A = this chain, B = another copy of it.
Amino acid sequence: MTDPHVVGAGMIDFGELYEQSFDDLLESAYLSLIENVDKGVDPSDIDAAWYGTIDIANEGSSGSAVAHATGLFETPITRVENACATGSDAFRNAAQAVKAGDAEVALVIGAEKMTDSTEGLIASAALERLWRGRGVTMPAYFGMRATRHLEEYETTREQIAEISVKNHENGTKYPHAHQQFECTVEDVKESPTVSYPLNLYDCCPVTDGACAVLVTSEERAREFTDDPIRVAGYGLASDTFQRGAPEALTNFPATRQASSQAYERAGLGPDDIDVAEVHDCFSITELITYEDLGFCEDGKGGQFVDEGRPHLDGDKPVNPSGGLLSKGHPIGATGVAQIAEIFEQLRGEAGDVQVDSPEVGLQHNIGIGRNATGAVSCVNILERP
């Protein structure tokens, strides 16, 4: 049994890419990966691929879309869809296949053309089946978590806003980020209300993007780079909105379950994580995620921010890339991009957002099925071998 290793990553600048088709996004990310592999990669070495997209533009995209964008026509290509955890779950499936020996050199590629969606902004996207008729949009769903967190704990509105401030500051230093501007806690509090208590700057933007990474076996990793990064663990879990468990109003059980799977596989715990890219679709989501991942105690997410711990120079830097709030959230690409960012961090190649000598990095998504049946979380842990 081999350990999967990440040996390369390629990412395009995220943004409102009206001038690029969905195929263009896939092709650009793939070519960026091919150019970025330290010792080069011959496309014929790639013997399997996993492709993440929720196909929000409803193009009917299957694995063959990647075959066209890359020329990998005879290669097995599986499309994975798992709400906002789509990209990270595509990565997990690739890692499993490499571990099984069924793939030796696996491409993971994610893309989303959010600006082509007929569903409109994430900010207004409704959860379709059960909740739309009850007015529960995505911001409303997360807004209710924020309200409850403010009520149950000593969390303040300012602490929630500070997460957006931090991530936008990081994003100004990260070349691929979409919304590159700094803002203050006051700016966040005074931006237009989307769904109380969340305002516009508490919400991630609508962003197109794509990213690709290369995963291979321990045995073959050094064919591609002298500095491979080991996949130490991964986890995936679902949850429901309909159990009515009170604790689920201030946290996400799916994240707790997925991260405990990943920690167990890796033989690591929250204290071992040196850098994390987590799912900040809304500012409150990141605050809750600190608690769900075990970075701090339940109810102490606000204090964790106040102490500066998740900041770039803190002891537990979270979202040095600017996170979804600044970088954007092209759904199928998001998890793959977070893997690429952790890969760069662990190799010391993260430029102006490089944190201090990380050995272990964690990537996290929490998603909500469009059919509103529940939440899904995926967590991957990478480490320097």
Residues of A that sit less than 8 Å from B by CB: 1, 48, 54-55, 58-68, 72-83, 89, 92-93, 96-97, 99-102, 128-129, 235-240, 242-243, 253, 257-258, 261, 265, 367, 369-371, 373-376
9 extra interface residue pairs, beta carbon distance < 8 Å, beyond A55-B81, A62-B369, A96-B102: A58-B58, A63-B83, A64-B239, A68-B240, A75-B237, A76-B237, A76-B258, A77-B82, A99-B101
24 A-B residue contacts at CB 8 Å? Answer: A1-B1, A1-B100, A59-B128, A60-B128, A60-B371, A61-B373, A62-B371, A62-B376, A63-B236, A64-B239, A64-B374, A65-B374, A67-B239, A67-B240, A67-B373, A68-B242, A72-B238, A74-B239, A74-B253, A74-B257, A77-B82, A78-B236, A79-B81, A80-B81
Shortest CB distance A159–B (Å): 29
* A64 CB contact (under 8 Å) in B54, B238, B258: B238
* Inter-subunit contact B369/A61 (CB<8 Å): yes
Chain A interface main SS type? mixed
Given known contacts A96-B102, A97-B96, A369-B62, A67 and B238 CB-to-CB distance under 8 angstroms = yes
Q: Do the beta carbons of B371 and A59 come within 8 Å of each other? A: yes
> Considering the chains assembled together, what is the distance between the CA atoms of A55 and B81 in angstroms?
11
Kindly list chain B residues whose C-beta atoms are within 8 Å of the C-beta of A236: 48, 63, 76-78
User: Nearest B residue to A257 by beta-carbon distance?
Assistant: B74
User: Closest approach, in angstroms, between the C-beta of A151 and any C-beta of chain B?
Assistant: 26
